[in-house]
Amino acid sequence: MAWKKLGLLVAAAVLLASPALAQLKRGYGKPFNEAETKAALLGIDMRGYSPTYGFSWRECIQPNGETLYETPDAVLKGRLTIAPGGQACFAYEDDQYSSMACFAAYKTDGGVRFETEGPSPVVFVTTKIVTGVKSCEPHDLIG
């Protein structure tokens, strides 16, 4: 009889935990909408790591969407455009701003996770965010 009660308790716990487990399986919940992306990304200096590419990066985003993006290889001027669906779309000077990389942005415990859609997503995760940035200068970024 005790085993039967224990079995019922375990089954109930699994059923109650299923929504949380499904949320974890999906990733980070619902991506930011347009207003949330603007609030989270405009006027910040963020540092992070890309598990997809295996490098650390830094990007400073002015309130008007102009950016400076630093990787181990270069520092590039860029532009952030926020799509109507909330995606953060970045374009850079190295190709005359002709191509955009768009990411769904998700809130994490430590900041923001950027992820492309598809079977092999490209991922960038922030490790530090400073808010209240008014302008981005190259001499402030390189370090």
The pTM (predicted TM-score) of the whole model is 0.78
Do 18 and 71 belong to one domain?
A: no
Do 40 and 9 belong to one domain?
A: no
CA dist., res. 18 & res. 12, Å (int)? 10
Q: What is the span of the domain harbouring residue 89?
A: 34-141
Do 19 and 42 belong to one domain?
A: no
Do 61 and 42 belong to one domain?
A: yes
The pLDDT tens digits for 47-91 are 999 999 999 999 999 999 999 999 999 999 999 999 999 999 999
Domain count, the chain: 2
Name 33's Cβ contacts closer than 8 Å, sequence gap at least 6. 85, 86
Name 22's Cβ contacts closer than 8 Å, sequence gap at least 6. none
Mean pLDDT of 80-108: 96
Do 93 and 131 belong to one domain?
A: yes
Name 125's Cβ contacts closer than 8 Å, sequence gap at least 6. 48, 49, 50, 51, 108, 110, 111, 112, 113, 114
What pLDDT is recorded for position 107?
94
> Can you give the CATH number for the domain in which 74 is found?
2.40.128.640
Count the helix, strand and coil residues of the chain and give each as a percent rounded to the nearest 5: 30, 40, 35
Q: Cα 64 to chain center, whole Å? A: 19
Do 86 and 118 belong to one domain?
A: yes
pLDDT confidence tier of residue 28, bands split at 50, 70 and 90: low
Judged by DSSP in three states, 53 sits in: coil
pLDDT confidence tier of residue 118, bands split at 50, 70 and 90: confident
Do 11 and 39 belong to one domain?
A: no
Q: Cα 106 to chain center, whole Å? A: 5
- Residue 66 β-bridge partners: 79
Locate 7 and state its tokens. Answer: 């079995």
| pLDDT reading at 35 higher than 90 | yes
Do 67 and 126 belong to one domain?
A: yes
What pLDDT is recorded for position 138?
81
CA dist., res. 58 & res. 19, Å (int)? 35
What pLDDT is recorded for position 26?
42
